[in-house]
Structure formats: C-alpha cells, structure tokens
Structure 1
C-alpha cells in the first residue's frame, strides 16, 4: 500500500486568496488576448471559495431572414444572445497555481463535470484550460 496521498480532482480544494485571484485573472486575460482575439466579446472571470469560473460572451450569428412566427424579434434575439454567457469551464484550486482541477459545464446535465486536460492529466494550468475550452465553445 502506498503512503502517497492522491488529490481527488472532483473534491477538496483550498480557498483562493486575493493574490491568487488577481494573478489567475491576469494570466487568463493575457492568454486570451494573445491567442483568442476576436473569438469572444467579453470574458467573465469570477471566484467563489475554491473555484474559478470562466464564461465568455460572443456576438450571435443570426441570419438576415427572420421567421415571422418566432416568439421574439430578430433584434430581441440578438440582444438576448449577446447577454447570455457561454460557460467555458470551472477550475478547482488545490494550493498550486499551476495545478488546478478542471470541469466543463454540461448543458445536458446543467452542472459542471470533472474533466481531464488534453495531455490526460487531471491537473493543469488556467491557460491550458482556456485553450481547451475555447476549442469546444469558441
């Protein structure tokens, strides 16, 4: 039996202090500015206890020809979609700024589900989480 303690990527974590919040937000925004320019209109980064949530807002792709029997006008639809976030991911903090747990939002289940990073690891950086989620959502 091993004496090595293993982190569970789906539980636990450490409350994120203000310094880590600030640094993490800067890292995510810097990566987004350098690598995802034009793929979103705004990123929303928020922290709660041990979690960092990242959402994106995009300009909706709406056809010029709008159905007359649709329950909202084309302009109302565009405005609603502009203000509806795309839940990109949630990070779980364990005390190491380069080893966060990752969860993607499941619209089918209406919650966040633990995921792995592209390299197969359960823990990784905020930048890799953003790169991965942008590939799916943006």
Structure 2
C-alpha cells in the first residue's frame, strides 16, 4: 500500500476543508491526521466537540480514495460503500456520506 505523498496530504486537507465550509456549515473545522496510506478525518462542531467521521485510504491518486466509516458503537473504522455503490470515491463524496450519517443535513 503506497504512503500518501505530503503534497497529496495538503491537497486533501484543502479540498475537504473548502468543501465542508459550504456543504456542512455545522462543522467549524476538520482535523485530518495521516498514518501511512490512511487519512483519519474528524469534524469539529461549534461547541468544540470532535466527531470521528471516516478513514480514507490512498490508492495512488488524489481524486479517488478508499472509504471507511467510523462506528462509535464498536470504536472502529469499517470499509463502507458510498451511495454510488463503490468502496472508493472523491473526497467530497466521502465527506458527504460520512456527514449524512454522523450529522444532520442542514436545511437549504
């Protein structure tokens, strides 16, 4: 499994943070930590609470990431399908899927 290049790590953080600002305003910040090929994503709420959202797996391209949801009931990340039926997708698709499960979708 390839290690995520530093430039891809920075790009992922910028992409997810920018997208979260418009799509998920209840998140005041995103916290992303990398370990090998994995990126662990937590969302920060207005009261400072952090919510574990997902784990992404780098597969050699910055535009498509393997996806695992965080399940508080087992305190584990489990490979999961996106609404598209795939186990991998764009950073925006993965964030939408995780936030739809962990947060209430904002009214438009």
TM-score scaled by length of structure 1: 0.69
In structure 2, how many angstroms separate the alpha carbons of the residues matched to 1:109 and 1:36?
A: 25
Alpha-carbon distance, 1:99 to partner: 1.9
2:14 equivalent among 13, 26, 43: 26
Alpha-carbon distance, 1:111 to partner: 1.0
- Matched residue of 1:41: which SS? strand
Matching of residue 93 in structure 1 with residue 58 in structure 2: yes
2:89 equivalent among 112, 120, 124: 124
In structure 2, how many angstroms separate the alpha carbons of the residues matched to 1:96 and 1:22?
A: 13
Matching of residue 35 in structure 1 with residue 39 in structure 2: no
In structure 2, how many angstroms separate the alpha carbons of the residues matched to 1:18 and 1:103?
A: 21
Give the superposed CA RMSD: 1.3
Tell me which structure has the larger Cα radius of gyration: 1
Alpha-carbon distance, 1:105 to partner: 0.9
Alpha-carbon distance, 1:17 to partner: 0.7
* Structure number with higher relative contact order (C-alpha < 8 Å, ≥ 6 residues apart): 1
Q: Which runs of 5+ in 2 are unaligned?
A: 104-108
Q: Which runs of 5+ in 1 are unaligned?
A: 1-12, 61-81
Q: Number of aligned pairs?
A: 103
2:45 equivalent among 58, 74, 92: 58
Deviations 1:42-93 (A, max 9, x none): 2111111101111012245xxxxxxxxxxxxxxxxxxxxx3x4211100001
In structure 2, how many angstroms separate the alpha carbons of the residues matched to 1:100 and 1:120?
A: 14
Structure 1 runs of 4+ aligned residues shifted over 4 Å read: none
TM-score scaled by length of structure 2: 0.87
